[in-house]
Amino acid sequence: NADAAMYHAKGQGRNNYQFFQAAMTAKAQERLHLENDLRHALDRGEMQLHYQPQVEAATRKVVGVEALLRWHHPRLGMVSPAQFIPVAEETGQIIRLGEWVLFTACTQAKLWRDAGLPPLRMAVNVSGKQFRQQDFVATVDRVLAETGFDPGCLELEVTESVIMEDVQETIQTLNNLKARGIRLSIDDFGTGYSSLSYLRQFPIDRLKIDRSFVSHLPGSEDDEAIVNAIIGLAATLHLEVIAEGVETDEQVRLLTSWGCQKLQGYFFGKPLPAEALSEMFEMAGA
């Protein structure tokens, strides 16, 4: 038992290192390995972006994609971003990784555009640490210049908790991005603590209803009420609203009837590598 060993180690006073080693849980060791492996992951070509379609509810046409990072670990196989993004945040690796994501996503979106596809919106997740970097907007500028991607087709997703953290600074950064024509959305909306009065001041374009509310539809009265409240709030603030985690035909029908404009989820497509999505686009005759 780790806690007991730790307690024991403290009491011992000497030879602490051994005890601490013994006390180090498998989980902590795993995390340490992950941290080390993450340092080389990009250079070793283990990172890849997958893209998940976003559709317009009314027409069911694909109007955009969200870029989602994938790590193919040589030993562990596919490691979930939910697992390694927080680690990358803590170690600062997220800065390099995030820039790579932005660059790769914009490059791919430009390729699709040049191949003659109708303009697709490319949504890219931005972590808190990334967003708070002094040179974040300059980095975005550089990536846009290097890739030649239209800023009007780029959307940055920032979570509710990040956006509410330092409001004055947030407004300034968002305004700077907005001035370039970039769209901004609040990810995982409903899971944080949004101040509605701040929400009104932010130059944002859309709210993404968190999957945790969508997954219990239909059936959960609470979640039905929450989802409807978010859709209503978006309408009041003149924001677009998209639901994530849409998996069933019934959820599609419900969300559409409630006025949710865009939908994203396994029902329409799982996140896929660019080549697989290109094939899908070709088949759709786009």
Size of the site for Mg ion (CB under 5 A): 5
As a whole number of angstroms, the distance between CA 102 and CA 90 comes to 20
Size of the site for ligand C2E (CB under 6 A): 23
Give the x-and-dash track for 99-118 against ligand C2E (CB under 6 A): --x-----------------
As a whole number of angstroms, the distance between CA 228 and CA 210 comes to 13
As a whole number of angstroms, the distance between CA 51 and CA 276 comes to 9
Q: Which stretch binds ligand C2E (CB under 6 A): 140-148, 167-175, 189-197, 265-273?
A: 265-273
**DSSP for residue 152:** G
Q: Which stretch binds ligand C2E (CB under 6 A): 111-119, 220-228, 245-253, 254-262?
A: 245-253
Q: Which residue number, 246 or 277, has a Cβ lying nearer to ligand C2E?
A: 246
The token pair at 41 is 């992951």
What is the smallest separation between the CB atom of 57 and Mg ion, expressed in angstroms?
A: 17
Q: Which of residues 1-60 bind ligand C2E (CB under 6 A)?
A: 52
Q: Look at the alpha carbons of 143, 71, 213, 109 in this order and tell me if their dihedral is positive or negative.
A: positive
Instruction: Say how far residue 6 (Cα) sits from the centre of its chain.
Output: 37
Binding-site partner at residue 266 among ligand C2E, Mg ion, none, CB < 5 to 8 Å by type: ligand C2E
As a whole number of angstroms, the distance between CA 43 and CA 36 comes to 13
Radius of gyration of the chain measured on its C-alpha atoms: 21
Q: Which residue number, 223 or 244, has a Cβ lying nearer to Mg ion?
A: 244
The token pair at 227 is 């989802």
As a whole number of angstroms, the distance between CA 277 and CA 105 comes to 13
Instruction: Choose which of 37, 188, 194, 281 interacts with ligand C2E (CB under 6 A).
Output: 188
Closest CA to 52 of 70, 65, 71: 65
What is the smallest separation between the CB atom of 58 and Mg ion, expressed in angstroms?
A: 22
Q: Which stretch binds ligand C2E (CB under 6 A): 80-88, 166-174, 190-198, 232-240?
A: 80-88
As a whole number of angstroms, the distance between CA 62 and CA 286 comes to 10
Task: Give the H or E element holding residue 156.
Answer: strand 154-159
Is 160 a binder of Mg ion (CB under 5 A)? Answer: no
Q: Which stretch binds ligand C2E (CB under 6 A): 39-47, 125-133, 175-183, 225-233?
A: 125-133
As a whole number of angstroms, the distance between CA 276 and CA 56 comes to 21
What is the smallest separation between the CB atom of 269 and ligand C2E, expressed in angstroms?
A: 9
Site residues for Mg ion per CB under 5 A = 125, 157, 187-188, 244
Site residues for ligand C2E per CB under 6 A = 52, 68-69, 80-82, 85, 98, 101, 125-127, 157, 187-188, 211, 244-247, 265-266, 271
